[in-house]
Amino acid sequence: VRPVASLSGGQKSRVAFAQMTICPSPNFYILDEPTNHLDMETIEALGCALNKFKGGVILVSHDERLIRTVCRELWVCEERGVRRVDGGFDEYKHVLHE
């Protein structure tokens, strides 16, 4: 057993996600860049777990794969505020390229 402080970023994330699965089920999760320091296999497992989660999820991410896998609504923070993007991630990318 090692102290959490001695773990890598990815290992710390895995410990946090493991704690989430053994705690009583919350109503929602708030996740800020949850894929940082994770390998592809762990990112896929996280996406599957979030899709099975019965509660709500507020997710801040730049990870396109996770956004496409998990998100049913897309809200974008911009200089002038926050707005909902109709059409999801593909529509958002289309608007950016115009």
Q: Which fold has domain 4-96?
A: Rossmann fold (3.40.50)
Assess whether pLDDT exceeds 80 at residue 81. Answer: yes
In this structure, what token pair is assigned to residue 64? 């396109």
pLDDT over 80 (residue 47):
yes
The set of long-range contacts for 77-83, using a CB threshold of 8 Å and a minimum separation of 24, is none
Average per-residue pLDDT for the chain: 85
CA 84, CA 76: separation in Å to the nearest integer?
6
Residue 26 · residue 57 · CB < 8 Å: no
Residue located via tokens 């049913």: 72
Parse the chain into domains and list their residue ranges.
4-96
Q: What is the pLDDT of residue 79?
A: 87
Q: 10 pLDDT exceeds 80?
A: no
Bridge partners (DSSP) of residue 60 are 32
Indicate the pLDDT class of residue 89, thresholds 50, 70 and 90. confident
| Lowest-pLDDT choice from 9-13, 65-69, 89-93 | 9-13
